[in-house]
Structure 1
Amino acid sequence: MARIDEPEGSRGLPSTRPGLFLRRPAADGTVVVEQRIRTPGRRDDIQGLRAIGVILVAVYHIWIGRVSGGVDVFFIVSGYLLIGSLARQAEAAHQVDLVLFATRLARRLLPASLSVVAVIALSAPFWLPKMRWETVIDQLAASSVYLENWYLANAAIDYLARDQVGSPLQHYWALSAQVQSLLIVAAGLAGFALIRRRPSRAEILTFLVGVFALSLVYSIYGTSRNQAFAYFDTFARIWEFALGGVTALLPPSIKLTPIQRTIGGWIGLLAILSCGVLIEVSTAFPGYAALWPTLAAAAILVCGDGPPLRFGVARLLGARPLTWLGSISYSLYLWHWPILVFYLTLSYQTQAGIVGGIGVMIVSVVLSYLTTQLVEGGVSTQRNKDRPLRTAFAAAGALAAIAAGLWIWHGQAGRIMTEERLRVADVEHYPGATVINEPRIVSSDIPIHPGPITAKWDNADVYRKGCHQTLLGDSLLSCSFGPKDATRVLALVGGSHSVHWLPALQSVFGRYADWRIVTYTKSSCALGSQEKSEAPQYRQACARWNERLVERLLSEKPDLVFTTSTRVVDGIEETPAGHRQQWQRLTAAGIHIVAMRDTPWFGFDVPECVEINGRFSPKCIVRRDLVLSPSSPTSTVPLDDKLHFLDFTDFFCIAETCPPVIGNVLVYYDKHHVTATYMRTLSDELGRQLASIIRDTEGLGRK
């Protein structure tokens, strides 16, 4: 993100600049310019540092599929230039002009950022799969007002949203967090200057250090508790900008020898380049792990301040190719991600590859150069500082285009959604799983059900009722389905793969007047399971929840417990030891358990694949032997007359393959969760296989 963090007029000026002027009202109401604030000279190495940051971001996104820490470099540079400038203003003028600061920030940001959003709003309906429309429409609005980070923060803690394909706007989270952080720190500095009246540099530095410390402590705590949320949390990021401001105020008091500056600068650059390789940034940041790239960037800024060094890193960073790339880095950050999403969507790939990635990069650079010259250069440069109307008109035009695109797009999405929701899944046209036992010809000329837009909402009732526990939660949430005065209880327990059997169970037990279903479910937490792939805080929450669940079951003693029996761990289908341990505790107490073999996990978003490639495309079909073992792993579990295993995998996979659509019904609403519509078509077979088990529990009574 470039030039949004430059002091006004920093581009193209010589190394010694006159600085910033402060406008103050005179007694007669006129405005007098009376204060000149000295600002640092031009440093080409800062442009080069921006170039390194954007190269890391783009390369990791396009070819590596990870997060690099390059965004954190931008944050430090922003704090160094903008917060440093405001700190010097507070020291020299004893106040901070928030209105002027916000105006300049808007002039830097709005033209380019809103232009990219407008292009996406007007073009995405023609190339983006319909199943992503609703999410992207919401993100268009969030990105336009710099709230994308909070939108993603809330989506990140929703388990059902974690497998969604990235939108062309999700990279706006960093821009949103940056704007919010800068405004918060600027307001804090303004308030501090107002309270202290004549703050010294030492006092301002102490204030910024305090902001840095408080935010860092909050960031470390938040990351340990809920990293997915903290990653986008503005308050967990403020310390990075404060650190940049602290760095800007330190150089006068730091005396480094040329050798120290040379070694420190190169160590900083190597640390930045190695960060994304050695740390899984997306799952470790922004806590103490983010000190790696931020301190490295701060070291480069400190070591680059002063006379040029023959072998200093500033000579590399100040090279013309890097400074040119740094000059378009803001636009390049804005463009590279939507261009990548566009390419991956149309080519239906998950990785760009060498040739495709080079194409994405070239197109992004060209668009970035044009945006910088025609949009940023047209309304946000020094020569237009006295033409605020130009910026206002440009922003208004972009917002009008965004609003028009949203209005048209939202209307089209609404019409398609209404059609899909009104579609009746009758047995004749949408037999679903019944065609497995009763093969017959089903017309494929009609649309599949559920459709691409409504598929993700075709799930179990527990999500709408709010009684499915989240990844971090550990308390028992419960819903009850069926007659309140029912004397017999089936407890549905476990993770989301237990949940997606609820629609079929509701159909089965709706036929019994004396049965009701009680649910105890939690995201990614099967009965007795602690997923190896989950973060430590999620595994710990799962363990606590499991213990409370078993205690509740042993106390209430339901007539039946329905759960899953297998799990795919590191690509291998198995029955985890934790499952068996909990089963033994329950069956020893006389509780009958129905354990269902888990359904297949696809490696791609099934509804999107079907929408793009068609229901019969080989791209949307997986080989059975890649997702299921030849026989169920439960075959090795010791027999127990109260433990009943069911295996419905033949209703999800035929002899050699697992299709995405069966009997005109879409089987999955994401990568591995089964639609409620398809589950209901399994109810007759499930009822038949449960009938004998239900009879086994008759006469046991409730204790």
Structure 2
Amino acid sequence: MAARRDDIQGLRAIGVMLVAVYHIWIGRVSGGVDVFFIVSGYLVIGSLARQAEAGHAVDLVLFATRLARRLLPASLLVIAVIALSAPFWLPRMRWETVIDQLAASSAYVENWYLANAAIDYLARDQVGSPLQHYWALSAQVQSLLILAVGLAVFTFIRRRPSRVSLLAFLTGTFALSLAYSVYATSRNQAFAYYDTFARIWEFALGGVVSRLLPNIKLTSIQRTIGGWIGLLAILSCGILLEVSTVFPGYAALWPTLAAAAILVCGDGPSLRFGVARLLGARPLKWLGNISYSLYLWHWPILVLYLTLSYQTSAGIVGGTGVLLVSILLSHVTTQLIEPRFSAGKDRPLPTAIAATGALAAIATGLLIWNGQVSRMMNEERLRVADAAHYPGAAAINEPFPLSSEIPVHPGPLTARWDDADVYRLGCHQTLLGTSLLSCVFGPADAPHVLALVGGSHSVHWLPALQRVFSRYPGWKIVTYTKSSCVLSAQEMSESPEYRQACAKWQEQLMKRLLSEKPDLVFTTSTRVVGGIEDTPAGFRQQWQRLTRAGIQVVAMRDTPWFGFDVPECVEINGRFSPKCVVKRDLVLSRSSPASALPPGEKLHFLDFTDFFCTSEACPPVIGNVLVYYDRHHVTATYMRTLSDELGRQLAPIIRDAAGSGGRYG
């Protein structure tokens, strides 16, 4: 039996306070979760390894029972509280996502849910849910179970393995998972961040430390220096590294090796100036005892505060309140809830029955809530956006009675889905995809083609273009679009893996366009980067290649980018709230940067920003129609209200492209 080490509780306290402080005040990731991971590996996997070394088989049922009794009470309590309270304070547009995440968190697969959301371009701008911190708990449970199964199989084969063989097994697991983590992070960091298999090495490292520790002999000076270096490394990790964009991979060795140094250097007799004396102090021990519950509570309390106050950061006073409330709830949970389930004998059947009952209760509540959401969504979808009540763009500069009696369309539950058809048809390429996908809208045998190309800001013009070209039986629309990949000879994305995928896709796109020569190419003419609107040289290079080949290009000025979630702002503050309006000069230049370029015979610039903004401001709702379904993508409903004006401006270009003998209606 390993001696109890108070410094480990202090290490847990440091880890959870880093997580909470960075979430509440700094808005970054600290690396504190990785400290939790190695401590869990040290304690849990180290304990299993000691049992195996003593000749005891790894009892997976008993292991799962103890793990469930330790983790489930507090975890399911927080989930239940969120499920019961969320309908009363959470904006309706987040309900569907939160219901999905409640289910994923209850099943301990939240990390995989977020891994898939992380590579969904249209989901990246969504506001954080009160459940997303459960990714770490999910990855922890999965990693510990995988390692336990691995140890069970290994001990079954080796019967009574030696310390050396166990160390070899854990070291091999560590090396394989770390190698995979480095590879996965280089290929797709956003997905790898939540990938269990890219995290197993952190828990295995804790197990390695537990098996090596008896053979490590350090002097007092070495232990003192090594411990303080480890603590300083943990504290500085989140300051010096942008953890959320580089972890896991080799970068995660920073906090994990630092934690390992503390585990090694804190073992043994207490040193007067050693780090273990600080970490073993009563306040840190107390925080360490409630660290698990504090991790569970701090995030939903923060999301609750930010939602109700409609702020993006907590501030000193608000953040202090969030932290104190979280600590209070964590103390109550640790004192009153956890002991009721962790005391007594390890009996698998009662534990399984209790866990099943709790999950069944949560599932029942989610089914009822989901049914209510489905009914409300159907009501929103059945709402007819007639021109009399929902003129949309026609009301931007015309007298139109403002009334809150007519509900905004699309509503909060359906706004996220009010987008172009290409997403549902599967012909819009993802961030990492490279193949050239396309959809055809209109008669398949139509002699004339408009090619809609570029990123998602090209896509959101599709609903308007569909209405325009429905009047031209001799035309069809063919789409070639990819998330965050505009028509440019220069790579625009900040992410290396996205740039690489975009470059491959662009190469195929230009070959297709130059070989098939559509009559018109419709794309965007400007891009907003760092608040500055620009027409990059890479745009102009691609336009020149197309026009030299005889292809006419229509380049539309990009629509405004808001700094907040527009539908959520409207739901919380109301359509007329100044909080949901942005000043025009903050999101758009005085004139389109493309207008300064020399005009070309086959190059046409369009600017529809006056249909999104008045001379002073850009409103979130125009003519009772919600303009955006997130921070910057335009709803299909609003785009359709632009079709008449778009058709009027495109008419001469269409006639010219079709030629005098063309069928242009």
- Per the normalisation by structure 1, the TM-score is 0.92
Report SS of the residue matched to 1:93.
coil
Residue correspondence of structure 1 range 525-674 to structure 2 within 5 A = 525-528=485-488, 534-674=494-634
Give, in whole Å, the separation in 2 of the partners of 1:328 and 1:603: 36
Instruction: Pick from 109, 119, 126 the counterpart of residue 71 of structure 2.
Output: 109
- After superposition, the Cα gap between the structure-2 partners of 1:42 and 1:442, relative to the gap in structure 1 and judged at 3 Å, is closer
> Counterpart in 1 of 2:391?
431
What is the aligned-residue identity percentage? Answer: 82
Mapped contact 1:91–1:200 kept (Cα < 8 A): yes
> Counterpart in 1 of 2:203?
241
Q: CA deviation at 1:400?
A: 4.5
> Counterpart in 2 of 1:270?
232
Give, in whole Å, the separation in 1 of the partners of 2:183 and 2:211: 28
Partner amino acid for 1:294? T
Whether 1:221 aligns to 2:162 is no
Q: CA deviation at 1:546?
A: 1.3
Partner amino acid for 2:396? I
Mapped contact 1:51–1:323 kept (Cα < 8 A): yes
Give, in whole Å, the separation in 2 of the partners of 1:139 and 1:324: 31
Q: CA deviation at 1:411?
A: 2.3
Mapped contact 1:115–1:398 kept (Cα < 8 A): no
> Counterpart in 2 of 1:311?
273
Q: CA deviation at 1:536?
A: 1.1
Residue correspondence of structure 1 range 36-75 to structure 2 within 5 A = 39-75=1-37
Instruction: Pick from 379, 395, 406 the counterpart of residue 446 of structure 1.
Output: 406
Instruction: Pick from 88, 106, 111 the counterpart of residue 149 of structure 1.
Output: 111
> Counterpart in 1 of 2:126?
164
Mapped contact 1:458–1:675 kept (Cα < 8 A): yes
> Counterpart in 2 of 1:9?
none
Tell me, which stretches of 5 or more residues in structure 1 are unaligned? 1-38
Instruction: Pick from 420, 423, 432 the counterpart of residue 472 of structure 1.
Output: 432
Q: CA deviation at 1:539?
A: 1.4
Q: CA deviation at 1:53?
A: 0.3
Q: CA deviation at 1:639?
A: 1.9
Give, in whole Å, the separation in 2 of the partners of 1:451 and 1:353: 31
Q: CA deviation at 1:700?
A: 8.7
Report SS of the residue matched to 2:472.
coil
Using the TM superposition, name which of 539-548 and 312-321 deviates more. 539-548
Partner amino acid for 2:285? T
Q: CA deviation at 1:407?
A: 3.0
Kindly tell me the number of residue pairs found equivalent between the two proteins.
Answer: 662
> Counterpart in 1 of 2:304?
342
Report SS of the residue matched to 1:506.
helix
Give, in whole Å, the separation in 1 of the partners of 2:290 and 2:83: 23
Mapped contact 1:108–1:376 kept (Cα < 8 A): yes
Cα offsets for 1:533-559 (capped at 9, x unmatched): 531111121122112211111111000
> Counterpart in 1 of 2:338?
376
Using the TM superposition, name which of 644-653 and 472-481 deviates more. 472-481
Cα offsets for 1:331-365 (capped at 9, x unmatched): 00000000000000000001000000000001000
Report SS of the residue matched to 2:553.
strand
Give, in whole Å, the separation in 1 of the partners of 2:170 and 2:250: 18
Cα offsets for 1:92-118 (capped at 9, x unmatched): 115211111111000101111001000
Q: CA deviation at 1:696?
A: 1.5
Give, in whole Å, the separation in 2 of the partners of 1:353 and 1:408: 37
Instruction: Pick from 93, 96, 107 the counterpart of residue 131 of structure 1.
Output: 93
> Counterpart in 2 of 1:183?
145
Partner amino acid for 1:460? A
Tell me, which stretches of 5 or more residues in structure 2 are unaligned? none
Q: CA deviation at 1:252?
A: 1.7
- After superposition, the Cα gap between the structure-2 partners of 1:271 and 1:532, relative to the gap in structure 1 and judged at 3 Å, is farther
Using the TM superposition, name which of 67-76 and 384-393 deviates more. 384-393
Mapped contact 1:503–1:679 kept (Cα < 8 A): yes
Instruction: Pick from 177, 185, 205 the counterpart of residue 167 of structure 2.
Output: 205
- Per the normalisation by structure 2, the TM-score is 0.98
Partner amino acid for 1:587? T
Give, in whole Å, the separation in 2 of the partners of 1:127 and 1:188: 44
Whether 1:694 aligns to 2:654 is yes
Cα offsets for 1:181-224 (capped at 9, x unmatched): 00000100110111112211101100111100111111111111
- After superposition, the Cα gap between the structure-2 partners of 1:48 and 1:442, relative to the gap in structure 1 and judged at 3 Å, is closer
Mapped contact 1:94–1:199 kept (Cα < 8 A): no
Q: CA deviation at 1:404?
A: 3.9
Give, in whole Å, the separation in 2 of the partners of 1:584 and 1:555: 15
Using the TM superposition, name which of 365-374 and 85-94 deviates more. 85-94
Cα offsets for 1:590-629 (capped at 9, x unmatched): 1100000000000000000000000000000000000000
Mapped contact 1:472–1:537 kept (Cα < 8 A): yes
Cα offsets for 1:348-383 (capped at 9, x unmatched): 0010000000000010000000000111121113xx
Q: CA deviation at 1:399?
A: 2.8
Report SS of the residue matched to 2:373.
helix
Mapped contact 1:111–1:391 kept (Cα < 8 A): no
Mapped contact 1:529–1:542 kept (Cα < 8 A): no
Give, in whole Å, the separation in 2 of the partners of 1:369 and 1:445: 46
Cα offsets for 1:43-68 (capped at 9, x unmatched): 00000000000000000000001100
Report SS of the residue matched to 2:132.
coil
Instruction: Pick from 493, 496, 499 the counterpart of residue 453 of structure 2.
Output: 493
Using the TM superposition, name which of 63-72 and 405-414 deviates more. 405-414
Task: Report the RMSD for the aligned CA atoms in angstroms.
Answer: 1.5
Cα offsets for 1:6-49 (capped at 9, x unmatched): xxxxxxxxxxxxxxxxxxxxxxxxxxxxxxxxx21000000000
Whether 1:355 aligns to 2:280 is no
Instruction: Pick from 507, 518, 523 the counterpart of residue 478 of structure 2.
Output: 518
Q: CA deviation at 1:648?
A: 0.1
Mapped contact 1:332–1:365 kept (Cα < 8 A): yes
Mapped contact 1:567–1:598 kept (Cα < 8 A): yes
Q: CA deviation at 1:284?
A: 0.5
> Counterpart in 2 of 1:675?
635
Report SS of the residue matched to 1:250.
helix
Q: CA deviation at 1:686?
A: 0.2
- After superposition, the Cα gap between the structure-2 partners of 1:258 and 1:530, relative to the gap in structure 1 and judged at 3 Å, is farther
Q: CA deviation at 1:307?
A: 1.4
| Structure 1 ranges of 4+ moved more than 4 A | 386-394, 529-533
Mapped contact 1:488–1:516 kept (Cα < 8 A): yes
Partner amino acid for 2:656? D
Partner amino acid for 1:309? L
Report SS of the residue matched to 1:563.
strand
> Counterpart in 2 of 1:29?
none
Report SS of the residue matched to 2:322.
helix
Report SS of the residue matched to 2:54.
helix
Give, in whole Å, the separation in 1 of the partners of 2:404 and 2:155: 71
Mapped contact 1:247–1:302 kept (Cα < 8 A): yes
Mapped contact 2:15–2:36 kept (Cα < 8 A): yes
Using the TM superposition, name which of 547-556 and 677-686 deviates more. 547-556
- After superposition, the Cα gap between the structure-2 partners of 1:531 and 1:341, relative to the gap in structure 1 and judged at 3 Å, is farther
Cα offsets for 1:308-351 (capped at 9, x unmatched): 11111000000000000000000000000000000000000010
